Amino acid sequence: MSERLPNIRHFAALAATVRHGSLTRAARAVNLTQPALTQAIAGLETALGISLFDRGPTGMTATEPALLLAPRAEAAIAHIGSSRVTGTQLRAFLALTKAGSYAGAAKATGLSSASLHRAVADLSVALCQRLVDRRGRIVTLTPAGQKRARGFGLAMAELRAGLAEVAAWRGQAGGRIVIGAMPLCRARWLPDTILRFAASHPGVDIAVQEGSHSELAGPLRDGEIDFMLGALRSGPEIEGLAQEEVFVDHPALIMRAGHPLLAAGDTEGQMLNYPWILPGRDTPLWHYWEGMMRELGLEPPRVGIECGSVLTIRQLLLSGDGITLLSPDQVAIELKAALLAALPPPIPVRRMIGIATRADWRPTAAHAAFLGILRETGATLQQ
């Protein structure tokens, strides 16, 4: 599916006509003449290669693809917040937002810098808002620009989803699922799910964006990724997000094979004698580790190495006497090969692993199928 979506105003015309069932009433609702509205719908039908309405003496009867598209179009227009925004302006502004400069946006889109300047300037006029500040070659968003960028990103996500649903209705394989993957899900849960999904949906593209919760939550809220997998959070971090618990992970103390702690017989008394390697202080594992120490009546020791990369932690453990708190699934190969070893922590640690989505997100059929397999795979891991 092309990222160059049809004209935004064509989608507005579609939504209004589905809602009112009459060209006359729809034209009044979107401030277009009836001929202009008719032309907009015809343009959208040509671009999509389908009929959106059955024309008759009693009015316009929406076809099934129109009924699929209309709610997505309504949501997109609400996110855009103005009927005066064009698709060209929207795409130019999003490209500038992502690139951080007009030169970078021009390279990414193939448009000239002059065209991008003009489109963003026209967008500011249409919205009566200053959207960007420029300092030399670097462009930063104003608060209004940041709000608009998120709304535009969500609008594009809705339209892409609508077009994917129409493609599925036509029997055409297509669509794209973008997944935000936090560290734990990358070991088994996500790969197992992707393999199963790809076998039954070979035409759907899958993109995995790796990162921490803090790195992925913004793109999720902005519509750049569809859902996020990993350890669930609480508090302000999940504002605007919905979370679903899938399975419980039981982190263990992980160290190299032959580590002195394995033969000590007194894990609680001896584990402070070795260097700790943990992910950042803002991660659930750090908080679980700190809580475990305090519950044991111990002052959490200094953590000399903070690292979120399992590959790096693995090598550090293999090369010294360090200890970490990690899910055994994340180093299952090394444990099976007896390169690393695991001990149960003195106090069992449990963390909920699941799926985070935007609170108002509506999955396509492909999304729903992927989520279903995620739940099934997660249940298998739980067992």
pLDDT per position in the chain (383 positions), as tens?
Answer: 335 555 788 899 999 999 998 888 999 888 889 999 999 999 899 988 899 998 877 778 999 999 999 999 999 999 998 877 888 899 899 999 989 899 999 998 888 999 999 999 999 999 999 999 988 778 899 999 999 999 999 999 999 999 999 988 988 877 899 999 998 898 899 999 999 999 999 989 999 999 999 899 999 999 999 999 999 998 888 899 999 999 999 999 999 999 999 998 888 889 999 999 999 888 889 999 999 999 999 999 999 999 989 999 999 999 999 999 999 989 999 999 999 999 999 998 888 999 999 999 999 999 999 999 999 999 998 87
Integer Rg of the chain from CA: 26
Q: Which of 308, 275, 280, 293 is nearest to 184 (CA)?
A: 308
Written as one string, the DSSP assignment of 99-122 is: HSSHHHHHHHHS--HHHHHHHHHH
Second CATH level (architecture) for the domain 251-348: 3-Layer(aba) Sandwich (3.40)
Which sign, positive or negative, has the C-alpha torsion 35, 38, 42, 48?
positive
Pairing outcome for strands 252-256 and 340-343 = antiparallel
Numbered ranges of CATH 3.40.190.10 in the chain: 173-248+350-383, 251-348
Q: Domain 173-248+350-383, CATH 3.40.190.10 — does that match? A: yes
Handedness of CA 298, 302, 307, 313 (dihedral sign): negative
- Cβ atoms of 26 and 19 within 8 Å: the answer is yes
pTM (predicted TM-score):
0.85
d(CA 74, CA 15): 6
68's tokens: 């699929």
How many C-beta atoms lie closer than 10 Å to residue 113's C-beta? 14
* The predicted structure's pLDDT at residue 60: 82
> What is the Cα–Cα distance from 383 to 375, expressed in whole angstroms?
12
